[in-house]
């Protein structure tokens, strides 16, 4: 049974088999040299200390080899993206054939929709969550408009029920029963950015495919946080960023997944570039397009090595720890956070993230009655870094790779003091 004491939290940290990984990250500090309480790994993950060394290796090789670094570098640049594939595939539960690191999240979603959003005059609508991340909404709206449809008419929102914040899978089933013949694509956030709800990807895929819809998943808040098991889920495609839970640095490259069932379909429409082309004949330059099988066939250009080096630094750590161990600690750490918040017994706050650990990752979204952003500012002034979302929610992510039970305890104690004064 959990205890709401500092001694208990410190004891949990001593027993944590992953506790040493915190030392492998740069933790921001205040003017007195004390660590910030950092709970925004769901927006930007902290920097692994190894990142500088990984990037420096590529800078040194660039300095020493120039263009020959494509072949002579310690990690040759020509196939560099391949060094990331296996580790990334493990994180998202995919086969290496199904995964590639490239571009950024929304760019990848657009490239994937070129292939998997093929509307007709009667089957053209797109389903998203009503509170999807704005970038996803803008992407599907503009895809609808690009194909000549009215975005207001073509966009279907899967909404929570009145008075609730979480999505109900039965409501998606109803949408598909009633409008499935008009729906071409489901594009759903696997973990909702606002509530932290982790949706049943396999069930979503089954429902969509039963109505001959394509199914895509935005895993921005899922990759490195939960185990989405993309291959087993059967979804057609997915895309994610790497700068949140995957700690690759601000604005770093994203990843994408294309299910194996589409791997050898060269007839799928796509926007191509020379990195889509068969690597064995790529440098013949005058060959007609010969699309590579699998996710690599959606590449456009040669990869940005410095960004990939930062990703490699993080993925090597993930490969060492494994998602099973991370998710086990995540469930325990987030459970302790939830316990402490409930122990406050304060009617001003309500956790809107699912209570079932299997329906969430490490994020808890705390709704604060009658609050405004000044509450978030008070936390920030105390060097507790959380994420404020209008109108009244603080998103907090105790990331298992570097957050501690003591972090969680101290954060809740400070929140209690601030709420008492608020």
Looking at residue 68, its pLDDT comes to: 97
Share of the chain above pLDDT 70, in %: 100
pTM over 0.85: yes
Residue ranges covered by each domain of the chain: 6-35+322-421, 56-319
Looking at residue 370, its pLDDT comes to: 84
Task: Tell me what the mean pLDDT of segment 293-312 comes to.
Answer: 97
User: Positive or negative, the Cα torsion across 172, 177, 179, 182?
Assistant: positive
- For residue range 133-160, list pLDDT tens digits in order: 999 999 999 999 999 999 999 999 999 9
- For residue range 222-272, list pLDDT tens digits in order: 999 999 999 999 999 999 999 999 999 999 999 999 999 999 999 999 999
Looking at residue 1, its pLDDT comes to: 84
Q: What is the CATH number of domain 56-319?
A: 3.40.640.10
Q: How confident is the model at residue 330 (pLDDT cuts 50, 70, 90)?
A: very high
CA dihedral 78, 88, 104, 27 (to 10 degrees): -110
Looking at residue 7, its pLDDT comes to: 96
Q: What is the CATH number of domain 6-35+322-421?
A: 3.90.1150.10
Looking at residue 421, its pLDDT comes to: 82
Q: How confident is the model at residue 276 (pLDDT cuts 50, 70, 90)?
A: very high
Q: How confident is the model at residue 119 (pLDDT cuts 50, 70, 90)?
A: very high
């Amino acid at each position: 049974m959990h205890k709401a004491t500092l001694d208990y939290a410190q004891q949990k940290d001593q027993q944590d088999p992953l506790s040493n990984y915190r030392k492998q990250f740069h933790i921001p500090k205040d003017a007195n040299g004390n660590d910030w309480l950092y709970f925004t790994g769901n927006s930007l993950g902290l920097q692994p200390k190894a990142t500088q060394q990984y990037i420096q290796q590529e800078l040194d090789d660039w300095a020493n080899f120039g263009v020959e670094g494509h072949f002579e570098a310690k990690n040759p640049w020509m196939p560099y993206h391949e060094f990331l594939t296996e580790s990334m595939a493990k994180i998202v539960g995919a086969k290496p054939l199904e995964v590639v690191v490239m571009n950024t999240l929304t760019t990848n979603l657009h490239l994937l929709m070129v292939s998997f959003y093929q509307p007709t005059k009667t089957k053209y609508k797109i389903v998203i969550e009503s509170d999807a991340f704005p970038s996803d909404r803008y992407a599907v709206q503009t895809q609808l408009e690009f194909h000549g449809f009215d975005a207001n008419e073509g966009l279907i929102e899967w909404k929570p029920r009145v008075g609730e914040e979480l999505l109900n899978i039965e409501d998606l089933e109803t949408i598909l029963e009633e409008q499935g013949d008009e729906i071409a694509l489901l594009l759903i956030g696997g973990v909702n950015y606002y509530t932290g709800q982790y949706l049943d990807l396999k069930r979503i895929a089954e429902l969509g495919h039963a109505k001959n819809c394509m199914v895509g998943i935005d895993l921005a808040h899922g990759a490195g946080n939960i185990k989405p098991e993309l291959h087993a889920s059967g979804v057609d495609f997915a895309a994610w960023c790497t700068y949140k839970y995957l700690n690759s640095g601000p604005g770093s490259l994203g990843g994408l997944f294309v299910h194996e069932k589409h791997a050898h379909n060269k007839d799928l429409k796509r926007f191509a570039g020379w990195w889509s082309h068969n690597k064995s004949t790529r440098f013949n330059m005058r060959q007609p397009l010969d699309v590579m099988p699998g996710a690599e066939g959606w590449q456009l250009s040669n990869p940005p090595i410095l960004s990939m080096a930062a990703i490699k630094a993080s993925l090597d750590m993930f490969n060492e720890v494994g998602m099973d161990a991370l998710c086990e600690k995540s469930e325990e750490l987030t459970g302790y956070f939830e316990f402490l918040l409930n122990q406050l017994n304060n009617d001003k706050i309500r956790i809107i993230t699912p209570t079932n650990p299997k329906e969430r990752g490490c994020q808890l979204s705390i709704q604060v009655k009658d609050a405004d952003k000044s509450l978030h500012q008070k936390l920030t002034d105390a060097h507790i870094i959380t994420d404020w979302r209008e109108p009244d929610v603080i998103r907090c992510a105790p990331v298992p790779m570097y957050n501690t039970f003591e972090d969680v305890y101290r954060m809740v104690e400070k929140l209690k003091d601030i709420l008492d004064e608020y």
